[in-house]
Structure 1
Amino acid sequence: MMSVNGRYALGIVLAFGFLAMVMLYSVPVINLFFNDKTLTADLFFYNRLALWMVLGLIFIYNFFIENRSFFLWEDKKYSAGFYIASIVALYIISTAGGALLNALIMTLTQEKISGKLVQLQSIFKHNYFLIIFTCFTAGVVEELLMRAYIQPRIEKIYNSPVLGIVISSLLFAILHMTYGTIGQVAVPFFIGIVFAAFYKKYSNIKILIICHFIYDFVSLMLMNFIDLKHVSFF
């Protein structure tokens, strides 16, 4: 019979593997039914729905195979003031740090704007339902899987908080490789470190979900009204 750590390890592989498959292959597979030549709002919407399916599969795996609580770290309760202060601080650190890091990378490598971002700007244009749904999906699915699920299990397997933070952040960054630029991998890695360190210290996934939603929502709204080259560092 597989040990608890073995079941945790398999769950991590499944969670990351399913997420990677959705990122890489869901659009081409879904497009078999639409036969669109370019990425459309409908295709992207169904791609986001596929992420919810991954979350559902991991919940099922956790319930039937792991037979343990999905949340290895119980969510701690804080005051409303702590929520607000934490969300503001995390947003400023993520935005400012990410922007500086991306600007440095673009300066040193002369990296061009991600072609995928250009595509996304066109499908998000004035499509506020898709913007909100995309940001909500990213906030809930990515934080529940990368932080609440994967990070504590890595820490338990290796008995190392540092490895839990670093490896979960690295996996989070790898999932963003589909954007095709160094900056779109380095910045998520930086944000992953910030979020994972916060989660380790304060054990509150709701704050991270809200902050993740706000970060993506502001970025996508800026893409709606400002030329992409002026906001690409976000």
Structure 2
Amino acid sequence: MDTLTDNRRNIILIVGILFAFLYYPLLGHFVFYGQSHTLQMVLYSRLFIWLEVALLFCYARWGEKSRLLLWAEKSNGFWFYPASFAALYLLAIGAGIVSKIPLAFGLHDNQQVVREMAVIVNKNVPLMVFFCLTAGFTEELIFRGYLVPRLEALFKNKTAAVVVSAVMFSLAHYHYFSISETIFTFCLGVVFAIYYQWYRNIKVLIFTHAFIDFVSFVIFGYLQAHHLQR
């Protein structure tokens, strides 16, 4: 009887994990396939990801009979938050450096999709803010808040949960067709998953993720403007 219960629990976990991972790559492909990168498309794609969070919330509540975030948030003192942010941001810079290593050896990287997206987002400040907040909230809720605890429960192994969630996070960004973006998101996924395992604090991850994206867009906008002036 216990075996049947464990098997049913594992099936429920696997269904939720696969849905969380495949929702955008599969359903998003059918919804947005062939569409050019426009302001409307970027906006609709962000709303599409918010829908995934809503669906996962419903699945967790009625399918799993649990919460979206299995791990309760830990309360911490004031200085925990700026210290965590600073450490995570420095590690993100390190991940960015690592992601450029293949390029230093002459490997060609396709940045076209990333540039097209950045150009569109940089033209509209409210969209930029919405884009960054969406990435921070939805991706952290999905890949860290939802997936990491369930992968750990499924594999009964913390390391496997970190690696698999990071691979899923990286593959979810493969639609940019950028090698450096894929490596960066994998490294960031490892760092963020370990942090979430240690400190059980999703708020810091959400803020840091959104800030990383915002700074990236600001830097891109500055470099683009400087290039046009030359």
TM-score (norm 2): 0.90
Identity between Structure 1 and Structure 2 (%): 29
C-alpha distance 204-157 of structure 1, shift in aligned 2 (>3 A) = same
Give the CA RMSD over aligned residues.
2.0
Shift of 1:227: 3.3
Match of 2:161 among 164, 178, 188: 164
Match of 1:19 among 8, 20, 24: 24
Q: What do residues 64-91 of structure 1 show as CA deviations (whole Å, max 9, x unaligned)?
A: 1100122221110111210011011101
Match of 1:147 among 136, 144, 167: 144
Following TM superposition, the consecutive aligned residue runs of length 4 or more in structure 1 with deviations greater than 4 angstroms are none
Question: Structure 1: how far apart are the matches of 2:109 and 2:13?
Answer: 39
The aligned amino acid for 2:92 is S
Shift of 1:109: 3.7
Correspondence 1:53 to 2:51: yes
Residue 34 of structure 1 is matched in structure 2 by none
Superposed, which structure 2 residues align to 1:141-220 within 5 Å? 141-220=138-217
Q: What do residues 91-114 of structure 1 show as CA deviations (whole Å, max 9, x unaligned)?
A: 11112x122112211112432341
Superposed, which structure 2 residues align to 1:27-46 within 5 Å? 27-28=32-33, 31=35, 38-46=36-44
Shift of 1:24: 3.1
Superposed, which structure 2 residues align to 1:214-229 within 5 Å? 214-227=211-224
The aligned amino acid for 1:21 is L
Unaligned runs of 5+ in 1: 32-37
Shift of 1:150: 0.7
Correspondence 1:78 to 2:83: no
The total of aligned residue pairs comes to 222
The aligned amino acid for 2:20 is A
Shift of 1:42: 1.1
Q: What do residues 147-190 of structure 1 show as CA deviations (whole Å, max 9, x unaligned)?
A: 01111111111110001111001000001111112111111000
TM-score (norm 1): 0.89
The aligned amino acid for 1:12 is I
Contact 1:23 1:178 (C-alpha < 8 Å) held by counterparts: no
Question: Structure 2: how far apart are the matches of 1:83 and 1:22?
Answer: 36
Residue 7 of structure 1 is matched in structure 2 by 12
Question: Structure 2: how far apart are the matches of 1:173 and 1:148?
Answer: 16
